[in-house]
Structure 1
Amino acid sequence: MSKLLSKLFIATLPLLLAGVAQAQSIDAAIDLFDKAKYNEAANALRQISPATSKSKAFLCQLYADSYISSNVQESTKVCEEAVADKDPIAVYLYALAYLNGNNNLNINQNEKKGVGFMASAVIESDFAPAYDYFCSRLLAEQNLDEAINFCKVAASKGMRRALYTMGVLISEGTGVIQDFQRAKKMMLASAALNYPAAYVYLGSLAKEGKNGEPKDLKQAYAWFSLATAADSNNHRAMAERDSINLSSQDMIAAQKIATEWKYHTPKLVDYHKGR
């Protein structure tokens, strides 16, 4: 290494080490978040110095989604600074805050601002959850042609709701070519991200033996069980599961199927992972 390069390396070493420390601190906060230690995660983020747009956006999320007690002064500061830095998570959180109103961020509902921030998250940051939002919104507005464009992108980016939605559309042949095998692949990808509606869909396939799938009551019971575990208020899944009569041996086999699948699904879906 030349003397000039050595000097440059030494000069930039503190910055490199600071970047590593910041990344490790973010990882530590994510680990605490996964363990539902939200206040500890917030404290870990506050200790990052200097604060980064990522640490501010993560702290903003903890406030916006009510994981920690409201502190309007701090939440306003970190969120506004992260938005000013154009952090995609912060922009997306602000979009939701304006669309729905959010007392923790001291934001009143404003549809126009909300859509504007959401569009910014798509145009400027190519942010997957923003595509997912427009997919769902445009479908609800019965704007199928526009919706499918957003749904396809969101699904390609691994958004579990969009994967489920595309699975339904492909299964029905709505706006796209009907293809049962491709629809099932979409549903399995959504279920791999622990999405309750995908479990119910797969359970129905197995229970009724439709769309070319063989009837398999053990597998159906497992899918419906996973749906109720993912969403305890999913009464349809609960009713479907309880309507299946299995022998004791088949019940054990179904529970084993569900347990093995659950072992491989993530504990939660978090914006900060994979960034």
Structure 2
Amino acid sequence: MLALNRIAGTLVLPALLLLQPASAQQQEAQAATPSVTVSGKRQAADASEFLAARSRVLGRKYASSCNFMSAYNPNEDDIVLNYMRDFNLRADGANPIASAGAPGPEVLRDSSPYGDAESGAYNTMPGTGAPAETAAVDPMAPAVKCSGADRAFAAGRNYIARKDKTLDQAIAAYEKGDYKEAMAKFRENYNKLGYDISALMIGKMTLQGLGTPADTTQAVTWLRKVTDARFSPSDRMKFDPRDPSAMSERAEAAMLLAKLHLAGAGVRKDARAAREFYELAADAGYVPATSMLGLGYLSGFAGERNPSKAVKYLKEAAEAGYVPAMYQLGRAYYTGEDGVTKDLKLAGAWFAAAAKQGHAGAQYAAGRMYDLGESVAPDQQRAIAFYKDAAVKGVPAAQNALATYFYTGEIVEKNPATARKLFNAAAMGGQRDAMFNLAVMTSTGEGGPKDLSMAYVWYSLAQASGHPNAGAALKEVAPRLSKEDLAKADAILKPAARTALTK
């Protein structure tokens, strides 16, 4: 007789979670599932922000004292400058959104970084009232705002950037597969302008041996140029949950360096160094790295297990809209392992949030909670809907659970053929209950042809996977096999070793 086990013991990721159905007392204490806040539905970054140097207004971050020694001017915040750009407002002291009497953003033109000599409008050195060019001060000394050297450097760099075509040429050559030319142009661009994207591409190409001999040491040097470049909070990338693999140059370089140190590929294997690079990628705004840190602190990555940090990082990533973090956070609350306080209501809320975004593991987990009535009222209709979504995506435990409904005829119309197909799909995915259930149906001919040899195979595989009833079933079916049946089963379970053909 088929001994069904609808609720499999996995949540489709590393650990087995053997769970018992909710007790009547638990079901009586149901409460509304709490909601979770996901605020990560952002628009993709404006393409015009890709290279600030395309603007004729000089980027202050390329001149040290302009960027770090200036007095604070709220009109120079990125959000204000972007607002003025989007609405075609003037980005100078006469801008219409500046409050009366308040200075507008300082605009440095690469053709006249010290001011407009023809009109007599000069940028004065703060506190002197004199034109910057004629101020009786050391031109190399940093001022409260910008030194003469800073202005000259920023102006020259911006002028080169506006006219330079080496980056476009490098990308075009790379896309054509002319890696030698691409490497030369990326190097030329970096030497001229120091663009992070060029250093990143040189590092990646050197790592892969494209256009240059593969050299991990040199690749790491170039990647470190990106991660060690000047960075401020305003440079954080904008994470888009719809495109979670998109990375800024800084984040991508950090992720590559983390992987190299994890694997010890060409560098010293060092989990702590890897974690530091994940932290750098997370600081750069790459949310999947934040999720990785959360998982790391759950498992004791790099020798440190910290449940509070784990939950903090996972929650940060989940609230930013990163779906795998939603699932992992739900799983952490569900199991109550690794020092995280068990909370089925929060687990269900995060599973539901991830399931809504199409995460297959979360769909199975949410269905399971409705099937068992964990933290919610039992609802087999909703459970079946979640199981179906996960089963279509190939989750073996969901396929097994859905098959049991078709086998018993609960909620859905009884259909042994469909049940057997689903058990077979789940069994092929390594689900041990499905292996046992498929063996029973195959031995009796339910939902398909009777085949004792295949029943013997599936019972054997179920036993090897730890199914508690498979051993007894094997003893019952073995005497019924003919020599031919047994030979067929052995050929599947113990295939002959392949020998190399020699001439």
Verify the 8 A CA contact 1:42 1:59 in the aligned structure 2.
no
Quote the sequence identity (%). Answer: 24
State the match for 1:113 in structure 2: 346
CA distance 1:8–1:114, change in 2 (3 Å): farther
**In the alignment, structure 1 residue 86 sits paired with structure 2 residue 321:** yes
Displacement of 1:183: 2.3
Long gaps (5+) in structure 1: 33-39, 261-275
TM-score using structure 2 length: 0.42
State the match for 2:358 in structure 1: 126
State the match for 1:57 in structure 2: 291
Q: Deviations over 1:211-258 (max 9, x none)?
A: 3432x221111101111222x2x2111221232224666445313324
C-alpha separation between the residues in 2 aligned to 1:28 and 1:255?
45
Give, as a single letter, the amino acid of the residue that structure 1 aligns with 2:346. K
**In the alignment, structure 1 residue 100 sits paired with structure 2 residue 335:** yes
Compare relative contact order (CA 8 Å, sep 6+) and give the higher one, 1 or 2. 2
CA distance 1:136–1:74, change in 2 (3 Å): closer
Match of 1:173 among 388, 394, 409: 409
Q: Deviations over 1:164-200 (max 9, x none)?
A: 1112222333323333332222222211211001101
Displacement of 1:111: 2.8
Q: How does 1:1-275 map to 2 (within 5 A)?
A: 3=165, 6=168, 9=171, 10=186, 11=195, 12-15=197-200, 17=204, 19=252, 22=255, 46=275, 50=281, 52-58=286-292, 60-61=294-295, 64=298, 71-72=305-306, 75-76=310-311, 78-102=313-337, 104=338, 106-123=339-356, 125-141=357-373, 142-214=378-450, 216-230=451-465, 232=466, 234-243=467-476, 244-245=478-479, 246=481, 250-258=485-493
CA distance 1:82–1:139, change in 2 (3 Å): same
Q: Deviations over 1:21-62 (max 9, x none)?
A: 847976997x99xxxxxxx89669535563554355345446
Displacement of 1:130: 1.1
Larger helix share, 1 or 2: 1
Displacement of 1:75: 3.7
C-alpha separation between the residues in 1 aligned to 2:387 and 2:258?
34
Give, as a single letter, the amino acid of the residue that structure 1 aligns with 2:459. F
C-alpha separation between the residues in 1 aligned to 2:403 and 2:379?
18
CA distance 1:76–1:140, change in 2 (3 Å): closer
Give, as a single letter, the amino acid of the residue that structure 2 aligns with 1:183. A
Displacement of 1:145: 1.6
C-alpha separation between the residues in 2 aligned to 1:44 and 1:218?
53
State the match for 2:176 in structure 1: none
Give, as a single letter, the amino acid of the residue that structure 1 aligns with 2:472. A
Give, as a single letter, the amino acid of the residue that structure 2 aligns with 1:71. R
Give, as a single letter, the amino acid of the residue that structure 1 aligns with 2:455. A
C-alpha separation between the residues in 1 aligned to 2:297 and 2:321?
18
Taking only aligned residues, the RMSD between alpha carbons, in angstroms, comes to: 3.8
Give, as a single letter, the amino acid of the residue that structure 2 aligns with 1:120. A
Helix, strand or coil for the counterpart of 1:50?
Answer: helix
Query: Which stretch shows the higher mean deviation, 71-80 or 85-94?
Result: 71-80
Displacement of 1:7: 6.6
TM-score using structure 1 length: 0.71
C-alpha separation between the residues in 2 aligned to 1:224 and 1:41?
44
Verify the 8 A CA contact 2:314 2:325 in the aligned structure 1.
yes
CA distance 1:201–1:98, change in 2 (3 Å): same
C-alpha separation between the residues in 1 aligned to 2:273 and 2:432?
32
Give, as a single letter, the amino acid of the residue that structure 2 aligns with 1:90. A
C-alpha separation between the residues in 1 aligned to 2:475 and 2:301?
34
Larger Rg over CA atoms: 2
How many equivalent residue pairs? 245
Q: Deviations over 1:60-113 (max 9, x none)?
A: 4465468996611764565345335433222212112223323x2x42122332
CA distance 1:170–1:50, change in 2 (3 Å): same
Give, as a single letter, the amino acid of the residue that structure 2 aligns with 1:6. D
Q: Deviations over 1:119-149 (max 9, x none)?
A: 22123x3211111012112122341222121
CA distance 1:5–1:62, change in 2 (3 Å): closer
Verify the 8 A CA contact 1:223 1:258 in the aligned structure 2.
no
C-alpha separation between the residues in 1 aligned to 2:389 and 2:261?
31
C-alpha separation between the residues in 1 aligned to 2:406 and 2:365?
19
Long gaps (5+) in structure 2: 1-163, 172-185, 187-194, 205-248, 496-503
